[in-house]
Structure 1
Amino acid sequence: MGCFSIKCGLLAGSVFGAVIAILGGILIPVGDMIIERTVKKEAVIEPGTTAYDNWASSEIAVYRQFWLFDVKNPQQVVQEGAFPEVQEKGPYTYKTRYLPKANVTFNPNNTASFVLPMGAIFEPSMSVGPEEDTVTTLNLAVAGAYSLLPPASHILLDMVINSTNSSLFQHRTVKELLWGYNDPILKDTIGLFSPYNGTSDGPYNIFTGKDDISKVSIIDRWRGETKLSFWNDTYCDMINGTDGSSFAPFVDKDVPLYFFSSDICRSVSASYEATMNLKGIEVYRYSLLPSTLASPVDNPDNKCFCRNYETTKNCTLAGALDISSCSDGRPVFISLPHFLQGSEYLREVVLGLHPDEEHHKTFLDVEPITGFTLNFAKRIQANMMYGPAKDITVLNKVKDYTLLPLAWLNETATLDDKTADMFKRELISRIDMLEIVQQVLLIAGVIIFFVCLIAFFCVRRKSKTNLG
């Protein structure tokens, strides 16, 4: 009778082990469903969700670091037609995006509208010197007027240049070049980023994801329009993706991420590069492909971004984007710093440039479960074109069109330690705990099942032997 009870106990143990293992197996899809439902709920942009708190907050510091290009041989360029030689000077760092989104309105069609107030506060402790540091740089008014005025007006322009004692180059402080100065030729305030303080970007209209989480943060309208009007082309004028600060949850690294940047007046895509560890959080790093600013020869999709056949050598130059159509007519070209991924010609006619993939590329670090961008570096270089002009004294020695770098910026932000700890505590630790419970139940159940089953057969065999 005792032997019979042992066998029953072992059979019951096997059944118990099987039940535990099955429970652990069931918890895997059930747990995944719970995680997915919770993440999707918290990813909706509406008051009370995690996504809304991150979206509306201005607590994460965003900085813009500027490196300005100091021209070392201005006289030789003007008098001898020499190639300009530049040396970067920086960083000069400003805190930006410290103001929360304004005019936030939730609309009946599951979209939210807002504007991004813009401001810049100088951070001396993160800079190589004060804003009063000077650089020798291109005369924005001279280069701008040269690019915008027809050749028939060049004689008149030359008279204005001479009467104001201006030249192709000028000495300006960092603050003046970035944020504006009173120009003697234009009799107006001009600067690379003037006006900036007190202005805003937008308004934006984005999907909240309430009815379709795959559309969360995707831009529906910018400045009231569903498409751009800068490029006169259906493809180039598309507004694709988000603003880059977040994406739909459960990111697939095989699918590119699309985002729109008003700084460069177009949408771009970023592709998965590597899986990184950011303060204990696994993130996917996405970066721009060389095809983004490739010439139409290599990427036919970029043909509509080519605005001037003469200055781009019949649209064969890679690495620079003419944004004059969206910058009030100012002849500004955007590129990656030091013409990274650009044509060799751009670095042959400007000496002193040293592109470096690690320091000059743009990237996003995206947490794949939530789709939140936890770290990014947006790196952009501002350039202006000048070229030969026989009727303009300061340009009549110039031999060819030259795209001169003026400054490049690194706009960057990363989650702080407090936010990282919260993120790990509220999301990652709970997911890890659920996975541990699943594995413990599954493994323990399997072990109990097999141990009890083996013991049962051993007892039964011993019982038969004793009876025999």
Structure 2
Amino acid sequence: MGCDRNCGLIAGAVIGAVLAVFGGILMPVGDMLIEKTIKKQVVLEDGTIAFQNWVKTGTEIYRQFWIFDVQNPQEVVVNSSRIKVKQRGPYTYRVRYLAKENITHDSENHTVSFVQPNGAIFEPSLSVGTENDTLTVLNLAVAAAPHLYPNAFVQVLLNSLIKKSKSSMFQKRTVRELLWGYKDPFLSLVPYPIVTTLGVFYPYNDTVDGVYTVFSGKDNVNQVAIIDTYKGKRNLSYWPSYCDMINGTDAASFPPFVEKTRVLRFFSSDVCRSIYAVFGAEINLKGIPVYRFILPSMAFASPLQNPDNHCFCTEKIISKNCTSYGVLDIGKCKGGRPVYISLPHFLHASPDIGEPIEGLSPNEDEHSTYLDVEPRIKGSEEKLYCAYSLA
């Protein structure tokens, strides 16, 4: 019996050692097989999982809007009082539900070209309010007129048309009108107007973004989804020097095997520039461990704080000779109209930028921009924030 017990213990120890050896061998072999499979399946070509999900995303993507409702428009117009605002929202829309179109493969250069159709469907269950909520907001046409028509004589004429149309510096608009477009009564009276329909995102529905040409990753998996050209060019023609370059992906996906040390670069046509994010933390997202990459404050800093940003400074009044920060002039990208972008509540902006406005409360937890990336594969879930304003 003693021999049987000892033999059993010895056999168990031998089997355990053998299994440990096999485990030590099979674990790296398994990792290699997984890595090989990932490299094969993330390539953007017919037949791969990545391509199928890339053409039309299998998950629902939403875009949420919070809008500042002006509480004291008359006081501002008559007495030049501080603007009091109240945040309303979110107003949620389902986007990116349409499949990419005009997909063309270039096997010689290992690229794929496409356009992304734009569409937005209101989602009441994820919204606080409806598309018909009426808010008091800046009158886009009246605010932009002095910038677009600086001639003194023309401004006298425009002021008469503003009065005739019963327009003012502020207006009441529904959420749908403000976001997607409305017929402006003042512009409808202007002879030979540039446009008569305005909206923060007008035109959007039934339009396309692109043409994008991205690398398929067939010859180099580290280039999967990285943009080669946008609208046939590698530069935007908006900014001087390297600020004009189109870098990275479109933020919907990234090459696989993301390391914490990597700087994630991506291009957004909404904000008319390339931007970047750096590792912030490890997050558990719906049971999946992901890396959270955050847009750093230095991305919006003034050239005095970050010399690399010198070519984003347009020396407009709002920048105070490029000493103020946190607001970017993208007017050249928007047809010459006076359009500026910032993070919500002017997060990471100069204190003087938000000083004329009462009701702002910027904080990192609610208003930062980040991307959650599954490090082994190339998927990402993003929270890309920007606030649009006209001045």
Work out whether residues 56 and 97 of structure 2, in 8 Å CA contact, stay in contact via their aligned partners in 1: no
Are 2:211 and 1:212 equivalent residues in the alignment?
Answer: no
* Distance across 2 between alignment mates of 1:168 and 1:8: 93
Cα deviation, residue 230, structure 1: 0.9
Q: Which residue of 1 aligns with 2:156?
A: 155
Cα deviation, residue 81, structure 1: 1.3
Moved more, 323-332 or 215-224: 323-332
Are 2:223 and 1:244 equivalent residues in the alignment?
Answer: no
Q: Which residue of 1 aligns with 2:292?
A: 285
Specify whether residues 308 and 154 from structure 1 end up closer, same or farther in structure 2 by C-alpha distance, changes over 3 A only. farther
Q: Which residue of 2 aligns with 1:87?
A: 86
Q: Which residue of 2 aligns with 1:133?
A: 133
Which of the pair has the greater relative contact order for Cα pairs under 8 Å at 6+ separation? 1
Cα deviation, residue 243, structure 1: 0.8
Cα deviation, residue 208, structure 1: 0.6
* Distance across 2 between alignment mates of 1:13 and 1:278: 41
* Distance across 1 between alignment mates of 2:305 and 2:151: 32
* Distance across 2 between alignment mates of 1:185 and 1:79: 20
Give TM-score scaled by structure 2 length.
Answer: 0.91
* Distance across 1 between alignment mates of 2:51 and 2:137: 43
The residue type paired with residue 168 of structure 1 is M
Q: Which residue of 1 aligns with 2:383?
A: 377
2:375 to 368, 384, 389: 368
Deviation per CA, 1:346-382: give whole Å up to 9, x if none. 2211111111222211111111111211x22111111
Identity of counterpart residues, as a percentage? 54
* Distance across 2 between alignment mates of 1:94 and 1:376: 15
Greater CA radius of gyration, 1 or 2? 1
Cα deviation, residue 16, structure 1: 7.0
Cα deviation, residue 79, structure 1: 1.2
Cα deviation, residue 328, structure 1: 1.6
Deviation per CA, 1:37-93: give whole Å up to 9, x if none. 111111111122121122122331111222221111111111111121111111222
Q: Which residue of 1 aligns with 2:193?
A: none
* Distance across 2 between alignment mates of 1:192 and 1:10: 76
Are 2:203 and 1:195 equivalent residues in the alignment?
Answer: yes
Are 2:99 and 1:97 equivalent residues in the alignment?
Answer: no
Are 2:272 and 1:265 equivalent residues in the alignment?
Answer: yes
The residue type paired with residue 206 of structure 1 is V
Cα deviation, residue 238, structure 1: 0.8
Cα deviation, residue 147, structure 1: 2.0
Cα deviation, residue 249, structure 1: 1.2
Specify whether residues 12 and 77 from structure 1 end up closer, same or farther in structure 2 by C-alpha distance, changes over 3 A only. closer
> By percentage of residues, which structure has more helix?
1
Cα deviation, residue 196, structure 1: 0.9
The residue type paired with residue 365 of structure 1 is D
Secondary structure of the structure 2 residue equivalent to 1:85: strand
Moved more, 305-314 or 289-298: 305-314
Work out whether residues 216 and 224 of structure 2, in 8 Å CA contact, stay in contact via their aligned partners in 1: yes
Secondary structure of the structure 2 residue equivalent to 1:268: strand
Cα deviation, residue 164, structure 1: 2.2
Q: Which residue of 2 aligns with 1:452?
A: none
Unaligned 5+ segments in structure 2 are 189-195
Deviation per CA, 1:404-429: give whole Å up to 9, x if none. xxxxxxxxxxxxxxxxxxxxxxxxxx
Specify whether residues 14 and 379 from structure 1 end up closer, same or farther in structure 2 by C-alpha distance, changes over 3 A only. closer
Are 2:332 and 1:333 equivalent residues in the alignment?
Answer: no
Are 2:282 and 1:275 equivalent residues in the alignment?
Answer: yes
Secondary structure of the structure 1 residue equivalent to 2:317: coil
1:310 to 302, 311, 317: 317
Specify whether residues 23 and 309 from structure 1 end up closer, same or farther in structure 2 by C-alpha distance, changes over 3 A only. same
Q: Which residue of 1 aligns with 2:60?
A: 61
Q: How many residues align?
A: 379
* Distance across 1 between alignment mates of 2:116 and 2:371: 20
Q: Which residue of 1 aligns with 2:192?
A: none
Specify whether residues 10 and 92 from structure 1 end up closer, same or farther in structure 2 by C-alpha distance, changes over 3 A only. closer
Cα deviation, residue 19, structure 1: 5.3
* Distance across 2 between alignment mates of 1:137 and 1:360: 21
The residue type paired with residue 230 of structure 1 is Y
